């Protein structure tokens, strides 16, 4: 069971030049922190966060995010909800995800 736990969080950083995209920042973050449960082999709720297409498509609960609307995005709601999510992002990581969604959730 311990082998399935997400790795110890490390602060994600916005790449030089301020480009906040799935490919440069959010994808690697989701791969490291969410991929064990929401990846190609362990896709809980049908949600694969390890590909941009998977994030945009969503899972069995519906669309994971609404570009430009972080508070209306299920992904943010789950992370900010009353019940802690198993793969809880750190406040800094969640802030990056919110910034990314606010900026339109760009792939590249």
Average pLDDT over residues 47-76: 95
Number of domains forming the structure of the chain: 1
- 38 part of a folded domain: yes
- 27 part of a folded domain: yes
Residue 24: give the domain boundaries. Answer: 19-102
Average pLDDT over residues 37-41: 90
Distance (Å, whole) CA 67 – CA 41: 26
- 11 part of a folded domain: no
- 12 part of a folded domain: no
DSSP string computed for 36-74: TTSSSS--GGG--TTSHHHHHH-BTTB-S--TT-GGG-H
- 98 part of a folded domain: yes
As beta bridge partners, residue 59 has 62
- 84 part of a folded domain: yes
Q: Is 48's pLDDT higher than 50?
A: yes
- 9 part of a folded domain: no
Q: Which residue has the tokens 């966060």?
A: 49
pLDDT-derived band at 81, boundaries 50, 70, 90: confident
pLDDT-derived band at 54, boundaries 50, 70, 90: very high
Comparing 19 with 2, the larger pLDDT belongs to 19
- 68 part of a folded domain: yes
Q: Of 76, 86, 78, 84, whose CA–CA distance to 5 is shortest?
A: 86
Does the pTM exceed 0.85?
no
Distance (Å, whole) CA 99 – CA 26: 10
């Amino acid at each position: 069971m311990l082998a399935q736990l997400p790795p110890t969080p490390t602060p994600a950083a916005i790449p030089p030049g301020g480009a906040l995209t799935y490919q440069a920042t959010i994808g690697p973050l989701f791969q490291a922190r969410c991929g064990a449960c929401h990846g190609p082999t362990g896709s809980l709720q049908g949600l694969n966060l390890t590909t941009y297409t998977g994030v945009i498509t969503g899972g069995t609960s519906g669309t994971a995010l609404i570009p430009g609307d972080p508070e209306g995005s299920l992904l943010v709601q789950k992370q900010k909800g009353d019940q802690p999510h198993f793969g809880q992002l750190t406040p800094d990581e969640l802030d990056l995800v919110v910034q990314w969604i606010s900026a339109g959730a760009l792939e590249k």
